Amino acid sequence: GIQVEQSPPDLILQEGANSTLRCNFSDSVNNLQWFHQNPWGQLINLFYIPSGTKQNGRLSATTVATERYSLLYISSSQTTDSGVYFCAVDMNNAGNMLTFGGGTRLMVKP
Amino acid sequence: DAGITQSPRHKVTETGTPVTLRCHQTENHRYMYWYRQDPGHGLRLIHYSYGVKDTDKGEVSDGYSVSRSKTEDFLLTLESATSSQTSVYFCAIFSGNSYNEQFFGPGTRLTVL
């Protein structure tokens, strides 16, 4: 099956810093989503981005489908950005079964 | 809010007992999924459903069964729970119509002693 690798596995930032999270995948995909899992365990949808660039406030994402990677940018980080960020991909549109990466654990210190 | 609820939210049970987790959705989505999340890992697909009485296996289906007798409910059953099934279980939906994202429920934390 498709392999999804995220880097870095752990990241510690000072509040106000910027960061870039990376997701590499091993095959062509029809769907790519970024999620934030907050400290209470809730999975929050950030982006649906199988290709191109999107922005939502301080967060933006870019997927270069031909090179099989996606980047999540967090600018001016806040303590509420802490948690785990997951990338998930799907190759088959019919069932939309997601394969998740291992996640990047982010801690933002005040 | 995609209108997904899971019950129970927490459960402690003993090895060998049957357990059923429920996922309920209010927006008539066709596709529903069960994933499990273990420490240090992303989510892995257990089973999914593409309609009433239509289900299929995912990556880690051994030891689990599912049923979907009506659109709004998707049940996950552990026939005889084992300690290796201690995990957090997430339900998800996908409509496949106006948007192509999966949305997740709040999760059920299951501990098998």
The answer to whether B50 contacts A31, with C-beta atoms less than 8 Å apart, is no
d(CA B101, CA A100): 14
CA of B57, closest CA in chain A: separation in Å? 11
Q: Minimal CA–CA distance to B76: which of B95, B63, B94, B86? A: B63
Phi, psi of A79 (to 5 degrees): -60, -30
Reported as a single tens digit per residue, the pLDDT across A43-96 is 999 999 999 999 999 999 999 999 999 999 999 999 999 999 999 998 765 677
- pLDDT in the model for residue B98: 57
- What residues of A are in contact with residue B44 (Cβ under 8 Å)? 100
CB pairs under 8 A, 24+ apart, for B56-59? B56/A95, B58/A97, B58/B33, B58/B34, B59/A1, B59/A99
d(CA A110, CA A79): 6
Phi, psi of B23 (to 5 degrees): -120, 130
Reported as a single tens digit per residue, the pLDDT across B33-67 is 999 999 877 899 999 999 999 999 999 999 999 99
Average pLDDT (B74-78) is 98
The answer to whether B102 contacts A96, with C-beta atoms less than 8 Å apart, is yes
- pLDDT in the model for residue B41: 77
3-state secondary structure of B55: strand
Residue A41 in tokens: 């365990």
